């Protein structure tokens, strides 16, 4: 998962960069449907739990609510 990769990169002492001018358009459910009990969507639910468990301490220590201090979030990478 992209989020786990970004956390691992930061944990290894590297920076994670983002491009604020980029745009991604995502149409939920087009590729794999919306049923979270089967297929790829079931893995997404399971992986979300694993991500929270693996990075719980980091999330508690560094999490910023949406739109809260965006420049601080940018600069911590």
For the chain, give every domain's residue range.
2-76
- Band of the pLDDT at 49, cuts 50, 70, 90? very high
Our measurement of the distance from residue 51's CA atom to the centroid of its chain's CA atoms, rounded to an integer in Å, reads: 9
| Mean pLDDT, residues 62-73 | 70
**Main-chain phi, psi angles of 11, to 5 degrees:** -65, -30
Taking residues 36-58, what's their average pLDDT?
Answer: 87
Could you tell me if 34 and 28 are in contact, meaning their C-beta atoms sit under 8 angstroms apart?
Answer: yes
Q: Which of 44, 63, 55 is nearest to 1 (CA)?
A: 44
Per-residue pLDDT, averaged over 28-45, amounts to 77
- Average pLDDT for residues 45-58, to the nearest whole number? 93
d(C-alpha 67, C-alpha 61), whole Å? 17
Q: Give residue 34's region: left, alpha or beta (phi > 0; psi -120 to 50).
A: alpha
pLDDT confidence band for 68 (50 / 70 / 90) = low
């Amino acid at each position: 998962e992209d989020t786990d990769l970004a956390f691992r990169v930061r944990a290894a002492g590297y920076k994670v960069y983002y491009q604020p001018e980029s745009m991604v358009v995502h149409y939920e459910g087009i590729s794999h449907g919306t049923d979270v009990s089967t297929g790829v969507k079931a893995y997404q639910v399971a992986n979300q739990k694993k991500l929270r468990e693996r990075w719980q301490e980091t999330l508690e220590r560094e999490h910023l609510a949406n739109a809260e201090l965006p420049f601080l979030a940018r600069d911590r990478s």
